């Protein structure tokens, strides 16, 4: 019984250093496509292969809309692919709706309560969000806490395309939150409906129902990206872009 104390001490602190230092361990992020410039054939093939239509073409320049990208690697497959790939994870970005909600003031910098609503997610985002509570990512060290009731919540974390059945509960939770408040959409589905929506049973993302302040792309976004989103919500990190910039030269 007493072994766990010794074992724990011997193991030491395994929690990630992020955001103090960038996390460099392998496998913390699947990465995202950045941009590509190629021949007509290559460009056509890449656009054709993208299952969610995230790749946009102008001439022979390709950019990626992260609202749709599910980083399926189809555009990266094969050694000849011109698609660039970024293995980082600081993906969270402010949306065009940012500021529609009365944002959190500086008093919330190191203490926010988060209410998570599953708007019909497939489970991937949920299991990534779950990781935030576990020792490796441990969001409590940053002052982020989960709460069961929206009456105490400052940030509403939503995953999933918002199915018909979850529309009312999501709206109710949003209405029940006191101001100031923020809404954070996690995952491609929550941003654009992803591979599910819009359809006969779901919307095309959270922003159709309530204004979204912070978007975290990815399918699913790795836990570090979600932490980046939370840090962005309290303005401790800067925003990334939701569309990749073109390849120069």
Q: Is 245 in the site for other proteins (CB under 8 A)?
A: no
Per DSSP, 12 falls in state -
Site string for other proteins, 105-144 (x = CB under 8 A): ------------x---------------------------
The stretch near other proteins (CB under 8 A) out of 24-32, 137-145, 162-170, 192-200 is 162-170
Among 175, 200, 248, 249, binds other proteins (CB under 8 A): 175
CB of 11 to other proteins, least distance (A): 39
**Which of 121/188 has CB closer to other proteins?**
121
Among 168, 201, 238, 241, binds other proteins (CB under 8 A): 168
Identify the residue among 44, 135, 172, 241 touching other proteins (CB under 8 A): 172
CA separation, residue 119 to residues 22, 157, 182, 205 (Å): 31, 10, 16, 9
Q: Identify the residue among 120, 150, 161, 222 touching other proteins (CB under 8 A).
A: 150
Say which residue the tokens 């509403």 belong to.
156
Query: Hey, which bits of the chain come out as E strands?
Result: 32-33, 35-37, 55-58, 61-64, 85-86, 93-94, 112-118, 144-146, 155-159, 182-186, 214-216
Of residues 69 through 108, those in contact with other proteins by CB under 8 A are none
- Interaxial angle between packed helices 124-131 and 223-233, expressed in degrees from 0 to 180 and rounded to the nearest 10: 70
Nearest to 206 by CA among 168, 164, 159: 159
Paired residues of 243 in beta bridges: 65
Q: Are strands 214-216 and 93-94 parallel, antiparallel or unpaired?
A: antiparallel
182 binds other proteins (CB under 8 A): no
d(CA 139, CA 242) in angstroms, rounded, equals 24
Nearer to other proteins, 124 or 176 (CB): 176
Backbone angles phi, psi at 172, to 5 degrees: -65, -45
- Total residues in contact with other proteins, by rule CB under 8 A: 12
Residue placing its CB nearer to other proteins in the complex, 129 or 219: 129
Short-list 177, 176, 182, 171, CA closest to 209 = 171
Out of 51, 99, 135, 169, point to the residue binding other proteins (CB under 8 A). 169
CB of 121 to other proteins, least distance (A): 15
Reading the block at residue 124, the tokens are 């991937």
Q: x-or-dash pattern for other proteins, window 26-65, by CB under 8 A?
A: ----------------------------------------
What is the smallest separation between the CB atom of 178 and other proteins, expressed in angstroms?
Answer: 8
Residues that bind other proteins (CB under 8 A): 117, 149-151, 168-170, 172-173, 175-176, 179
């Amino acid at each position: 019984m007493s072994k766990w104390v010794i074992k724990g001490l011997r193991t030491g602190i395994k929690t990630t250093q992020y955001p103090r230092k960038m996390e460099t361990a392998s496998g913390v992020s699947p990465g995202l496509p950045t941009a590509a410039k190629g021949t007509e054939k290559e460009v056509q093939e890449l656009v054709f292969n993208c299952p969610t239509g995230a790749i946009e073409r102008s001439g022979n320049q390709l950019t990626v809309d992260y609202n749709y990208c599910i980083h399926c690697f189809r555009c990266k497959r094969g050694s000849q692919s011109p698609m660039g790939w970024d293995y980082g994870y600081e993906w969270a970005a402010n949306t065009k709706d940012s500021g529609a909600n009365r944002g959190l003031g500086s008093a919330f910098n190191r203490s926010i309560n988060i209410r998570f609503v599953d708007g019909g997610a497939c489970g991937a985002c949920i299991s990534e969000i779950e990781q935030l509570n576990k020792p490796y990512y441990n969001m409590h060290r940053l002052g982020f806490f989960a709460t069961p009731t929206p009456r105490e919540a400052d940030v509403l974390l939503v995953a999933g395309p918002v199915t018909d059945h979850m529309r009312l509960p999501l709206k109710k939770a949003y209405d029940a939150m006191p101001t100031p408040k923020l809404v954070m959409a996690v995952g491609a589905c929550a941003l654009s409906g992803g591979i599910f929506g819009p359809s006969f049973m779901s919307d095309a993302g959270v922003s159709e129902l309530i204004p979204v302040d912070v978007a975290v792309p990815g399918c699913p976004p790795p836990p570090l990206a979600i932490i980046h989103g939370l840090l962005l919500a309290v303005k401790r990190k800067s925003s990334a872009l939701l569309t990749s910039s073109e390849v120069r030269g």
